[in-house]
Structure 1
Amino acid sequence: MNNRTRIAAACAFLSVGTQYAIASEQSESKGFVEDANATLLLRNAYFNRDFKDGANDAKTWGQGFIGTFESGFTQGTIGFGVDAFGLLGVKLDSGRGRNYAAFFDTDSEGRPVDDLSQAGAAVKLRFSNTVIKYGNQFPSLPVLAYDDSRLLPQSFTGTLVTSKEIEGLELNAGRFTGDSPMGDPARDPNRLKSIDVLGGSYAVSDDLSVSLYHSDVEDMFEKYYANVNYNIPFSDLQALNFDFNIYRTKYDDGSVAALAMGGDGQDDRNTIWSLAAKYSVGAHAFILAHQRNTGDAGYAYDFGDGGSTIYVANSYYADFNLKDERSWQASYELDFATYGVPGLSYKFAYVRGSNISVAGDDNATEREIFNQFKYVVQEGPAKDLSFKLRNSIYRADNDVGPDLNEVRAFIEYPLSIL
């Protein structure tokens, strides 16, 4: 069955089950303009990666403007709408030798550009609770997830079908043929051939959800993903949560992704899974997690499937996704609302990975200490203004990666235009 036939079959499958559907969103449509909204996100971002082995440090500061418009749907059995976005990034400080490419591209002389911009749009159709969207968009699925962790977001070009015909069940099918990364205004500089995605998630109850997804990046790899999330509430103030994630990857022969992750390019496979247990009591949360890699190579992502396609527990600065790696995490979260400061939160994490196979060493190690403060203004004229400061201290064996300290600082303010 070819890719187009698969997508057509998936679309037909997504529309099944209308008789069991929840109330139709399309029947409640107020109109193209009436349900429209437009926002402008002002993002000031600073990035400092301080290498400890003598390599050039990466230091960049920029101001981002992220404008988005989402129309409503026209009334009728089938509704029509349009989504659009405009991105502008302005360099405030950087220079040749210390630029960070995920913020700003460089010119022919190796200097970071002073600014970069991009615009995109997608058309969308809705019938009942099923939406078909084609064009430039920001997919956020476990096997295709755009990256928005720097100054400007990554985007993809293609078709995505999202169906919510049955209460608690969301199904997705899509095909994308273009990838516009962060820091680069070009539409598809990495020349993505195609990525097909199919899967869904189901909320079995308020405390149990499951998901299953599949993706195929042409000439790169094929992936399967599964998740089980189970919450055990003990009281209004206490709960225990278990979150299990797993990816299974079959790399195409000669795949650069497999070679980058320690494979030999011939029938390479990888399995990565993580299990996290989180105990919440009042303002406090304590997390323990274990993550493990097995197979012929490490787990690769952002080779056509997005810079956030790593839904596992031990992903911070490092992802602890190297060949044969086993990692443990201990972390702590604090919500200061209980202590009279609503909107302020803190997270600490320590992760250690071992048993890494790299450069002839079968027991290399890496470790990271992560700290993050975040504050969101809760009321007043500056409501929703947010501040986030995160720091990672990373150390590893020489063959694994360079030692470094990293600081990221973000100030964001969303403005509602429509």
Structure 2
Amino acid sequence: MTASRVRNGIAKARRLVVKVGSSALTSTEDGIDTARLDALVDAVAARVAEDVQVVLVSSGAIGAGIAPLALGGRPEDLATQQAAASVGQLALAHAYAESFARHSLTVGQVLLTSDDVARRAHYRNAQRTFTRLLSLGAVPVVNENDTVATEEIRFGDNDRLAALVAHLIGAEALVLLSDVDALYDGDPRSGSTRRVDEVTSVTDVAELEIGRSSSGLGTGGMVSKLAAARTAAAAGIPVLLAGALDAARALERADVGTAFEAAGSRLSARRFWLGYAAGVTGRLHLDDGAVAAVVGRRRSLLAAGVTGVDGDFLAGDVVELVDPAQGVVARGVVAFDAGELPAMLGRTSDELPEHLRREVVHADDLVPITRSIHDVT
């Protein structure tokens, strides 16, 4: 495989996030596969030995708890998932601590729920924790806090979590490792599919038939990995999708798997939080003129361009802005309560009372959302 600029950038990254999936580390019958875990740790430790800072986002807590609890398979109900996670998380953390100790490296466990990044203050706290752990030479091992996470505050999969953490720590690259060695233009099990070496835009994957994971342990699959890659790339972070068995080559040379080129300049922490991490409490419906102004010209949203309001939000909350076709085009901090807006809809500033003559969403508090890979598959 010919090295490319994006692959060279990933290989030379001085701070990176590595995510590994459940199926690459655990099995229903035996729990943690120590040989695979040790191989992953060896690959990470080799980069750390080169003065590279690495954050490891690891799935596998629920998978690691299935065998000890004799559950027979991944549980479907939340309470049993939480029980399995409480057992498996301890086993997984212990396995990582022992494995990294072979390289004289200390690990720090970081358990997150989506609430920890959806709330701005929590987001900053998590950022400080990662910064300090890395400055002390530790390897942060991150997982969703499955033991306490509810359906309402779950990330859904650790691919999304990894993309959020990558931006949160200022990573120069994100490496997604799973039981699939690359992105293909169809089901790789069919034997007649083509491997995609590099993705430079969303349109590169528009015609691909993307399926969800067939693993009994994973919750994501290729759809979630593409969404995570899109999120990271849109924020200025290149991504490598590769097989966990190729971890050493992926981290050292980045000459395996599928590389995703960063789509633009890196977003500030606040703008990334607004666009991809913040909790959303409502929606504003925009006419075509407002969409063009907000997305095309990066202007503030005025009441004249708002056609409808959904949700029960307060001034200062984060809301989605949707176009006439109900597609989300932006997110932003709204300047009015939901109850104030209906009387303002479609009215120009001159038609409003003086105390209401301000932007509904100011341009400085607004982030256009690029079209999701989910929307083109």
Q: TM-score, normalised by structure 2?
A: 0.27
Q: Give the structure with the higher percent strand.
A: 1
Select the structure with the greater relative contact order (CA < 8 A; seq sep ≥ 6). 2
Q: Give the structure with the higher percent helix.
A: 2
